[in-house]
């Protein structure tokens, strides 16, 4: 007797095999262009065994990404060529378990004593690199993305504060750091919540005139940065720089500030086959 992993059933009345592979599979070209789970096929009334195992594997990868320790030493070494001072802070969450249970503790630092303070307006932009919900995203992309961001921001004449690495951090912690550094704007580069398709994506959150208590509606977000399948470093830096300049002109970030640049192309995303 064949098991569900051997024969994948026949669509009732159609005479066609309901499979997730094969030369006559309508979904094959689309599946090759996206990580989304589409056209999975079936084995009787259930998913094929391989798809069930793939789903369980993706779920395990996502869970691991949340709990993976952050290699902040490696990230700091990768940032050394920039020549910017690098400081470290820790949120009020003492460990990962508390960080996950108490999001509020991740939004404030336990101390900023190790970060030199400065008067308001001392720097145009402060960059905070945070582990967030995926330290793996920082491990994979943090150093390279930051180098591209620094090049893009300085190319338009913006001054940068010392870099700050924030452990067990949420986005709101950047408000404390930005205000302490006297930066006109803060950019928090943070590991995004892992999903079943992507576990190593970074998000960039811009807050103009940061101070503790800023609302999420007062920020702008660029998400899904994880080349080659997500947004490229260069495109993310281009959009962020435009938003920083726009916030300076408008006097605020958030819902009133929009990116009016050109639409994303398939090259920016690296997902869609142009032949489709």
Domain annotation for the chain: domains and CATH numbers: 69-269 (3.40.50.11240)
Distance CA 58, CA 49 (A): 14
13: left (phi over 0), alpha (psi -120 to 50) or beta: left
pLDDT for res 82: 96
Q: Is the peptide bond before 134 cis (omega within 30 degrees of 0)?
A: no
Q: Which two tokens stand for residue 32?
A: 């090759």
pLDDT for res 113: 94
* Entry pTM: 0.82
Q: Which residues contact 38 (CB under 8 A, 6 or more apart)?
A: 27, 30, 31
Residues of the chain with pLDDT under 50: 1-23, 266, 268-276
Q: Give me the residues paired with residue 50 across strands.
A: none
C-alpha distances in Å from residue 95, one per residue of 88, 92, 106: 16, 9, 10
C-alpha distances in Å from residue 130, one per residue of 13, 15, 110: 55, 54, 15
Helices (H), the chain: 28-31, 49-67, 72-79, 96-101, 135-137, 143-155, 173-181, 233-250, 266-269
pLDDT for res 86: 98
pLDDT for res 275: 39
Q: Which residues contact 153 (CB under 8 A, 6 or more apart)?
A: 124, 125, 160, 237, 240, 241, 244
| pLDDT tens digits, one per residue of 82-111 | 999 999 999 999 999 999 999 999 999 999
Question: Which run of H or E residues covers position 203?
Answer: strand 202-208
* Angle, CA 82 vertex, CA 80 and CA 83 arms, to 5°: 75
Residue 71 DSSP SS3: coil
Q: Are strands 219-225 and 202-208 parallel, antiparallel or unpaired?
A: antiparallel
């Amino acid at each position: 007797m064949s098991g569900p992993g051997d024969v994948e059933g026949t669509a009732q009345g159609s005479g066609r095999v309901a499979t997730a592979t094969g030369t006559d599979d309508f979904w094959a070209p689309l599946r090759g262009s996206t990580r989304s789970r589409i056209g999975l096929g079936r084995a009787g009334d259930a998913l094929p065994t391989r798809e069930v195992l793939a789903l369980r594997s993706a779920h395990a990868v996502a869970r691991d990404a949340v709990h993976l320790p952050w290699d902040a030493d490696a990230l700091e070494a990768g940032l050394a060529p920039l020549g910017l001072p690098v400081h470290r802070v820790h949120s009020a969450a003492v460990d990962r378990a508390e960080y996950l249970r108490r999001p509020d503790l991740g939004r404030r630092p336990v101390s900023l004593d190790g970060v030199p303070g400065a008067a308001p307006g001392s720097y145009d932009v402060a960059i905070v690199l945070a582990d967030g919900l995926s330290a793996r995203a920082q491990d994979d992309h943090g150093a390279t993305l930051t180098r591209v961001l620094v090049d893009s921001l300085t190319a338009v004449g913006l001054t940068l504060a010392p870099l700050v690495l924030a452990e067990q951090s949420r986005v709101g912690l950047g408000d404390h750091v930005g205000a302490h550094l006297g930066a006109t704007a803060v950019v928090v580069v943070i590991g995004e919540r892992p999903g079943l398709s992507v576990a190593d994506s970074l998000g960039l959150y811009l807050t103009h005139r940061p101070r503790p208590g800023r609302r999420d509606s007062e920020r702008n977000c660029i998400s899904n940065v994880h080349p080659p399948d997500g947004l490229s470093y260069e495109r993310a830096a281009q959009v962020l720089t435009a938003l920083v300049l726009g916030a300076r002109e408008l006097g605020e970030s958030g819902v009133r500030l929009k990116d009016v640049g050109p639409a994303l192309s398939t090259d920016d995303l690296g997902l869609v086959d142009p032949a489709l």
